[in-house]
Chain A
Amino acid sequence: MATRSIQRSLSWWLAIQTLCCLAVTSAVIYVVAHHSFDQRQRAEIVRHEGMIRALYGEAKAADNWDGLRTELLDFFRTHDELAVQLRRNGELIFAAGPAASTGSWRQERLMPRADAPELELQMAIDVGSDRGVLRTLAIALLIVSLGASLVASLIGARLVRRALTPLRSLARETRQVGPHASGKRLDEGAYGTEMAPFVHQFNQMLERTEQAYQQLEAFNADVAHELRTPLANLIGEAEVELAKPRNADELREVLLSNVEEARRLSAIVSDMLFLSRADRGVTARTEHVEALSIPALDVVEFHEAVLESRGLTVELVGDAGVEADLGLVKRAISNLLGNAIQYATTGSVIRIDIGRRDGATWVGISNQGPDIPAGAGDKLFERFYRVDRSRTGAHYGLGLAIVAAIARMHGGETRASSCAGTTTVAFSIGTVAGP
């Protein structure tokens, strides 16, 4: 679709609207004027008819026809805008003015009346001046309409242009914000109330973009950092061992160590690929899971040996059916349970809560143990975040990020809370449109 200019179309509409209004007004004025002239002409004819009939009545009574003629002649000498023909029993007894109703004359045929049925009266009135006035009026109205429309549309165009100024300055401002100008926002109050929601939305979008941008940069740095350690180990170890002649056992040791490091790298890369897929907005392939308690119990069984070795027991509360990817749900529960086991006080109870809340299905896992430091709640789900930065080993801090990604893939979210020795980490499964 071609882009339309708001300014041009608004100006056009204003001009057309002005023209239409003025045209209608002018037409009404003209019709009303025409009508009132018409009324006045009729009234004039009727008035004179009355007078002629009265004179005729007097002449008839006195049988003085010459007197009537003289009087009428006197009268019509001073009224040349009128024409009349008087017939008595078909015989013309008086005529004044032009006989035919030609040119600017308007003729009225008057009906015979009962008091003088022999009288036949024809009258006409000169409407030339009235028509002249109407013509002048029509021309004046036309000129005024067109002129006023032109002026109105010019002014309208200026007004529209002025009204759209905020849009132009907004475009100018917008050019200056973005991820490269971090923290800069548009002034929501500066562009009129109509624009405020748009500006607000734009600012929010900017906020999200900026967050994503920063996250990406931090993520890249984290990835590089996380990969650097195993890579350094791989290269360093190999170089040191190759520098001197070694026997087979020594070399075997190095190879084993290298395999371990490479596995670690491989696991990090796989997990990151998984996370990036979730970031791209890939949704889970869902199937109907009758009862979440079944995969939950599977996961508990998976961790059974570790639970036993730490003297931990698991209590499963509640149940719910969901539409979800079973494999992913197991993975999320397994990560949460692994996390809970790691921080649980030996011999305590880990509680798995399944239930519906706020239109979503929540799976929460609580353990007894040290509280999460205040403010760390949301960060727990960030990639490579560790409560204890110095901790090393098989864990590289993607477990909860993966839980969050799985929740997102199911249209859900994650929550973490910690209070008085009980830490709860939960994820939800919402409703996702199938792929």
Chain B
Amino acid sequence: MRILVVEDEQKMGDYIRKGLSENGFQVDLARDGLQGRAMALAGEYDILLLDVMLPGIDGFAVLADVRAVKAMPVLMLTAKDEIDDRVRGLQAGADDYLLKPFAFSELLARLHALLRRGKLQETTQYQLAGLQLNLIARKATRNGVRLDLTAKEFALLTLLMRRTGQVLSRTLLAEQVWGMNFDSETNVVEVAIRRLRSKMDEPFESRLLHTVRGMGYVLEDRDT
């Protein structure tokens, strides 16, 4: 998976490169707008991560030039919490938009989501270490035992199953499962996860739903 990161901030560029490399991306890093545009137009990338505030030419200008030629997904980063900026970015052809400061897990999740977009229709059956999910029948079983889940719990589990092995932040879960587009001061997601865990994990031998402290939650089979 080749990704081009256009980010002028030294520290942020460095840790994004490191983090993405460790998560299986081949990362190229451009430190300003002009270099970023040249690399984006010349190279073959699966996805572009683009900061808005850049020296040389800004992210919107880079986006416009890239969009004129290429159709790769673009995720934009901005420090400005201006709705107009967001609208402008999306109108200019960005596929998604992430506000600084962001959690790295959030960045990763969004990149994966963009890369998956447009792929073949996703499967309707999931399986992980005895946990089975049937999206059509809306049925979840573990070791053959039917799990009694509420609609939201089922949606939560589906999301975690789809992104097996990926750490999903509370913000992302609140947004994707409940449509709540804001950071909540409360521990709502924590409690929902705890309840889900009590239904699908605790009655069984091994644990699949893990808390990654400071980051979020991940569904994976750590025993095998």
Which residues of A approach B to under 8 Å, CB–CB?
Answer: 255-257, 259-260, 262-263, 266-267, 269-271, 273-274, 277, 285, 298-299, 301-306, 308-309, 327, 330-331, 334-335, 338, 341-342, 394-396, 398-399
Contacts and interface: CB of A to CB of B under 8 A. Distances in A.
B185 A331 contact: no
A330 B178 CA distance: 11
B180 to A, nearest CB: 5
Contacts of B214: 255-257, 259-260, 263
Given A270-B81, A398-B185, 13 more contacts: A256-B213, A259-B213, A269-B101, A270-B99, A274-B81, A277-B81, A302-B178, A308-B195, A331-B180, A331-B182, A395-B185, A396-B185, A399-B185
B150 interface: yes
Contact of A267 (B183, B191, B195): B183
A299 B103 CA distance: 24
20 contacts: A257-B214, A260-B213, A262-B101, A263-B214, A267-B183, A271-B183, A277-B81, A298-B179, A302-B188, A304-B192, A305-B188, A305-B194, A306-B192, A308-B195, A309-B195, A334-B180, A334-B182, A334-B184, A338-B185, A398-B185
B181 interface: yes
Nearest to B152: A301
B114 interface: no
B91 interface: no
Interface in B156-183: 174, 178-183
Interface of B: 81, 83, 99, 101, 103, 150, 152, 174, 178-188, 191-192, 194-195, 213-215
A326 to B, nearest CB: 9
A327 B179 CA distance: 9
A338 B181 CA distance: 16
Contacts of A277: 81
A289 to B, nearest CB: 14
B178 A305 contact: no
Report whether over half of chain A's contact residues are helix, strand or loop; otherwise say mixed: helix
Contacts of A270: 81, 99, 183
B214 to A, nearest CB: 4
Contact of B191 (A298, A306, A334): A306
Nearest to A331: B182
A305 B191 contact: yes
Contacts of B183: 267, 270-271
A259 B192 CA distance: 22
Nearest to A285: B83
A274 B213 CA distance: 27
Contacts of B180: 298-299, 302, 330-331, 334
